[in-house]
Copies of this chain bind each other. A is one copy, B any other.
Amino acid sequence: MANTIRASVIQSCTARFNLSETLDKFESLTRLAKERDGTQLVVFPEGFIGGYPKWSTFSCFVGERISEGRDEFVKYYNAAIEIPSPAIDRIAEVSKATGVFVVMGVIERDVGTLYCTAIFVDPVEGLVAKHRKLLPTACERFIWGQGDGSTLPVVAKKFQSSVEPTHTVHTKISATICWENFMPLLRTYYYSLGTQIYCVPTVDSRETWESSMRHIAFEGRCFVLSACQFATEKDYPPDHAVADANNRNPDNIMINGGSLIVSPLGKVLAGPTRQPEDILTADLDLDDVVRGKFDLDTVGHYSRPDVFQLKANIDPTLI
């Protein structure tokens, strides 16, 4: 059990697309997870900074966009952050102050295009990596661009054992955002780099999500930490789109949570939770990864490279 660390997933939501309030929320939740639960790593949901404009259509129709949609995009564009930027600095400061490693979904602005990004912030080194979502889903395709192969990091991180303080635990951490989890070649790539703590910032709160998280944990022999937003109408600006414009109610659920933590053998360690704001914490015994690889190593003894080969292009693309 010496190879154990403690980790948390945070179920919460963006504060009305307000950057400063959302950063405050981040800080208080991270401090709570640290002080109350002794966590060493937290995963925040997709688009936690910048927000997830659920139910919006940005006034897009096949073949037409109208000016209301463009104005809405200007607001969303301005709510996004650049990397690096003062917001990133703030996150790094909290990470440093608490000693907690942070994986978080943010909306990233780069020249004219927004990206749905996950950042990795280390208490000592600050921002160490980012991952841009490779494929936005459906309507997301007109607000976010596509990441390329150059931001697919698996981050090596040493933690102090949560069980034996003198013992150092070596881990590898990745992030896969929302429906990227349905891209088997991407998952295989992460497995091949040895991911052990497979973080999933998401906004998919379907009932089927738990099945996929359990499958991936089992298939990849890794811990899966899925953090979903839980948001109600009051968590959005008052004029934001909702499911039923005729029945607006501040307490109507917009995104239904379902955050959970799964072990490398597919066992649910915590959650799924449907609480509006919740911190799920679990002890991750990294030796469970080895126990799982014993009979299933999708990228080692359980692959057939003579029949199937995966080629990855991780060069950054030029213009």
Are B303's CB and A185's CB within 8 A?
Answer: yes
User: Which of A62-70, A123-131, A159-167, A273-281 lies at the binding interface?
Assistant: A62-70
Q: Which of A2-53 contact B (CB under 8 A)?
A: 52-53
Are B73's CB and A112's CB within 8 A?
Answer: no
Also in contact, A52 and B56, with CB within 8 A (given A113-B293, A184-B298): no
Interface size for A (C-beta < 8 A) is 101
Also in contact, A219 and B296, with CB within 8 A (given A55-B64, A203-B63, A317-B305): no
> Is A287 part of the binding interface, using a Cβ–Cβ cutoff of 8 Å?
yes
Q: Which of A114-147 contact B (CB under 8 A)?
A: 134-135, 137-146
A54–B288 alpha-carbon span in the complex (Å): 24
Are B301's CB and A113's CB within 8 A?
Answer: yes
A306–B149 alpha-carbon span in the complex (Å): 8
User: Which of A83-91, A94-102, A187-195 lies at the binding interface?
Assistant: A187-195
Which residue of B189, B193, B308 is within 8 Å of A312 (Cβ)? B308
- Measured between beta carbons, the chain B residues less than 8 angstroms from A287 are 74
> Is A230 part of the binding interface, using a Cβ–Cβ cutoff of 8 Å?
no
- Measured between beta carbons, the chain B residues less than 8 angstroms from A57 are 57, 60-62
Q: Which of A277-319 contact B (CB under 8 A)?
A: 287, 289-314, 317-319
Are A297's CB and B53's CB within 8 A?
Answer: no
Which residue of B67, B135, B212 is within 8 Å of A215 (Cβ)? B212
Scan A168-200; emit 1 where CB is below 8 A from any B CB, else 0: 000000000001001111111101111000000
Subset of 6 A-B contacts with CB under 8 Å: A134-B304, A137-B295, A137-B302, A149-B306, A211-B218, A215-B215
8 additional contacts, CB 8 Å, given A62-B143, A215-B215?
A: A63-B140, A70-B290, A137-B295, A137-B296, A137-B302, A183-B304, A184-B298, A214-B215
